[in-house]
Amino acid sequence: MKYFFLLLMAASSWATAQKPCGFKDGLQEGSCKDFYENGQVKQVVEWKKGKIDGEAVYYYDNGKVQAKGENKKGYKVKEWSYYDKNGVLTSKEVFRNGEKNVYDDSSTATFYSPAGKITEISNYRLGKLHGETKLFHEDGKTPKQVGQYENGLAVGKWKALYPSGKVQRETEFANDKWNGTRVHYREDGSIEKTEVYKDGKLISTK
């Protein structure tokens, strides 16, 4: 996940540092290319009226695509895809910028293992985790952990699940800390133990 956000930050910095390409009425306009020192294309980005607007493709210095997607009024929109240096898909984002004329970088991000299996589906707003997050077992289909974030902080009841889909653990969060009960279950559904936390500290166990 950290790599994913570093990539987003890098894409943003490339956009602001790219070479001027064309101007209309004093504003940058048209398809702009930037290059690595080895001559390989680094990025191809569309501009309209001084803002990034249209298709954008970013490349590694070996010629492989690093990221591609579409912008509108300087914001990412629709679907963006991200790849490693070997061309393997690592993650996708579906942005909701522009819906109801709101541009808050709200998106749903899907992360993939090198084998192409889904490892995580998370929601973001303003660059922070916000909404439901799901982590998956190795099969890429069975949820391993499900919970909610608000402005980057874990809140509410989170569930950890066995590969069978049965609940393994339920934990209550407040402000990104264990706060309330934490119940551990055996796979047959019986309770193994119950813990009580306050502000991340264990208060009691039974």
Per-residue pLDDT of the chain (206 residues; tens, 9 = 90+): 444 443 444 444 434 444 557 888 888 899 999 999 999 999 999 999 999 999 999 999 999 999 999 999 999 999 999 999 999 999 999 999 999 999 999 999 999 999 999 999 999 999 999 999 999 999 999 999 999 999 999 999 999 999 999 999 999 999 999 999 999 999 999 999 999 999 999 999 99
pTM for the whole thing?
Answer: 0.85
Q: Where in the chain is the domain with CATH 2.20.110.10?
A: 117-206
* Burial (CB count within 10 angstroms: exposed 0-12, middle 13-18, buried 19+), residue 106: middle
User: What's the confidence (pLDDT) of residue 19?
Assistant: 52
One-letter amino acid identity for 193?
K
Angle at the Cα of 177 (from 139 to 107), degrees rounded to 5? Answer: 55
From first CA to last CA, the distance across the chain in angstroms is 35
* Integer Cα distance of 47 and 118 in angstroms: 33
CATH of domain 117-206: 2.20.110.10
Beta bridge partners of 133: 122, 147
